[in-house]
Chains A and B, each alone.
Chain A
Amino acid sequence: MANPLQAQNRRWILTAIPYLWMVIFFLVPFFIVLKISFSNSEIAQPPYSPVFDFLTDGWDESLDKLTSLTTDNYLRLIQDSIYSSSYLSSLWIAGSSTVMMLFIAYPIAYGMARAPKSWRPTLVMMVILPFWTSFLIRVYAWIAILSEEGLLNSALAWLGVIDEPIQILSTNTAVYIGILYSYLPFMVLPLYSNLEKMDDSLIEAAKDLGCTQIGAFWRVTFPLSLPGVIAGCFLVFIPAVGEFVIPDLLGGSDTIMIGKTMWEEFFNNRDWPAASGVAIALLIILMIPIMIFQANEARQQEAGR
């Protein structure tokens, strides 16, 4: 017979190892970012001050360093318009592409859910497969299509639609296309898994009671699919706000998104405290959508039981 105390110990270890890993490599780094966001930028190694060293610093010195922390980085976030316009344009680009995505993904998910049962696993795999291939490659593929001497311009010129090549690459349009393309599976899959479970007899009942096809969709199907809609929207919106690769490779110099601003602050300006401040502010902005998303997921799980 297994010793219950011993079993209890093993259980404890099973939880403790991943727990400890996440505390060290997720929670602690977060507090370091928070601390550095209150530090001063220095031309030194590491490029910020103060640097705490609790082993060699005495109590007084630590206290001294503590008082030299500043809120300058956050003041700059408010005062310098590059930051506020980055945040606003990130939210705007992510929000409007989420809405566009809903219009593109819903018909696809709906078609998948109505396809014969034997096709459905294949269709799901076909949606997931591009997601497995590298994000970078998928964004790169669009550069060749959208550039001035790219495939789209060649095709349009050949068809006689345009005389001069139109500039799509390095504009916000290209960023929208990139987001719509890269995040499509994130919207289609939650919608599909919701629509697939839907009971058809509800639609038939609505039709028997005099609803038209479209009426039945708006009054029955769509409201019932709302949890899937919410999950899909947040799965697209949240990562799109912090996106770096798409605005950097497809967007132009006038495309400002917060992920890109942070990257430049860090790699080009080597201003670590400013980059940390931008990161903390981004987290605070994303906190609300993340909490809505998690509440929706929890409700879904409860309902599923």
Chain B
Amino acid sequence: MKRLSLFNVVSLTIGFTFLYLPIVLLVIYSFNAGRSVAVWGGWSTKWYGSVFENQQLLDAAWITLKVGVLSASVATILGTMAAIALARHGRFHGRTLFSAMVYAPLVMPEVITGLSLLLLFVALNMDRGFWTIVISHITFTMCFVAVVVQSRLSSFDRSIEEAALDLGCTPFMTFFRITLPIILPAVISAWMLAFTLSLDDLVIASFTTGPGATTLPMKIYSDVRLGVKPEINAICSLMVAVVTFAVVIASVLTKHQEVERERAERLAANAP
């Protein structure tokens, strides 16, 4: 029988306080009426108002959102394809190189990924801006997608796929009718991971951007270098709120789906 000792409780409490206190303080001080981020001057929502009047911030947020949705969607498709290739196609020519290329960007320092992509765009004489950021984000997020989807693929019962093939499904139909519905939660969470990684990225976007394409992290970064402002706290709190909301919704959905699946499995097992 496992029991939480006092030591366990204390280390969990300290650990989670350390994780959450800075974010909680950031959110609280975004409601500070004063200009300072450390001296409390009463409650106010004026910084949120000024965020929505700051056209530069809004433009940057819009670009970031577009880059995020586009790159996450393409990365999810490519990453899922890569995961299927790695999990299902056994040994093929160049598999070692392929899996190295899929896994390497996970641990590659961002400065190197950013620099190398920029040098490619320069060599190809591409106009840098929105599209080069999208391409770069697809490249580094598809690896995360591949890892998430592959771990789901390697843990599910292949005999269902084989049964579908035996019953006359084409591989194409099998994928859309059997495989995809089963791995869908993993694909969705992979999309979300890719999306948040893209929203978050400062380094790679800074290297690969051009005139006219400033993402939100780049804007926040240049503002932070000029000094902390409650307005930045406000925009950061908004981002935290959006992400928290999305993650909670996603986990409730997956939980719901798991419960449904377990019930279906129980029903199937009890069937005469």
A interface residues (Cβ-Cβ under 8 A, vs B): 1-2, 7, 10-11, 14-15, 17-19, 21-30, 32-33, 36, 46, 104-105, 107-108, 110-112, 114-116, 123, 125-130, 132-138, 140-145, 147, 149-151, 154, 181, 184, 188, 200, 234-235, 238-239, 241-245, 249, 259, 262-263, 266-267, 272, 275-276, 279, 282-283, 286, 290, 293-294
Contacts and interface: CB of A to CB of B under 8 A. Distances in A.
A29 B5 CA distance: 52
A108 B26 CA distance: 24
Nearest to B242: A133
Nearest to B240: A133
Contact of B116 (A11, A33, A138): A33
Given A18-B85, A32-B123, A154-B39, 13 more contacts: A14-B89, A15-B81, A21-B78, A29-B117, A33-B119, A108-B12, A112-B12, A129-B244, A136-B202, A137-B236, A245-B202, A249-B224, A279-B116
Contacts of A138: 22-23
Residue among A2, A36, A136, A234 having the largest count of chain B Cβ atoms under 10 Å = A136
Nearest to B74: A21
Contacts of B171: 2, 7, 10-11
A259 B82 CA distance: 30
B102 to A, nearest CB: 7
| B-side interface mostly | helix
Nearest to A20: B78
Interface string B207-220: 10000000001001
Contact of B200 (A26, A136, A188): A136
Contacts of A26: 101, 104-105, 116, 139
Interface string B89-104: 1001010001001111
Given A126-B16, A140-B228, A29 B109 contact: no
Interface residues of B, number: 83
B203 A141 contact: no
Contact of B247 (A10, A27, A29, A129): A129
Nearest to A272: B119
Interface of B: 2-5, 7-9, 11-12, 15-16, 18-20, 22-23, 25-26, 29, 36-39, 78-79, 81-82, 84-85, 89, 92, 94, 98, 101-105, 107, 109-112, 115-117, 119-120, 122-123, 135-136, 138-139, 142, 146, 165, 168, 170-172, 196, 199-200, 202-203, 206-207, 217, 220-221, 224-225, 228, 232-233, 236, 239-240, 243-244, 247, 251
A18 B76 CA distance: 11
Contacts of A133: 23, 239-240, 243-244
A15 B93 CA distance: 11
Nearest to A238: B107
B111 A244 contact: yes
Contact of A1 (B19, B168, B207): B168
Residue among A30, A126, A181, A286 having the largest count of chain B Cβ atoms under 10 Å = A30
Given A130-B23, A136-B221, A15 B92 contact: yes
A116 B8 CA distance: 12
B236 A111 contact: no
Contacts of B224: 136, 140, 143, 249
A151 B38 contact: yes
A232 B123 CA distance: 37
Contacts of A32: 116, 119-120, 123
A293 B251 contact: no
Contact of A242 (B81, B89, B112): B112
25 contacts: A15-B85, A19-B101, A21-B138, A25-B135, A28-B120, A105-B15, A112-B12, A132-B243, A132-B244, A132-B247, A133-B240, A140-B228, A141-B26, A142-B22, A143-B224, A144-B26, A149-B38, A151-B38, A241-B109, A244-B110, A244-B111, A262-B111, A275-B115, A279-B115, A294-B103
B30 to A, nearest CB: 10
A46 B116 contact: no
A22 B12 contact: no
B79 A18 contact: yes
Contacts of A140: 26, 220, 224, 228, 232, 236
A144 B119 CA distance: 36
Contacts of B217: 134, 136
B38 A276 contact: no
B102 A107 contact: no
B25 A141 contact: yes
Given A133-B244, A138-B22, A242-B110, A111 B239 contact: no
A208 to B, nearest CB: 15
B20 to A, nearest CB: 7
Nearest to A213: B5
Contact of A262 (B16, B29, B115): B115
A200 B2 contact: yes
B221 A145 contact: no
Nearest to B235: A137
Contacts of A110: 8, 11
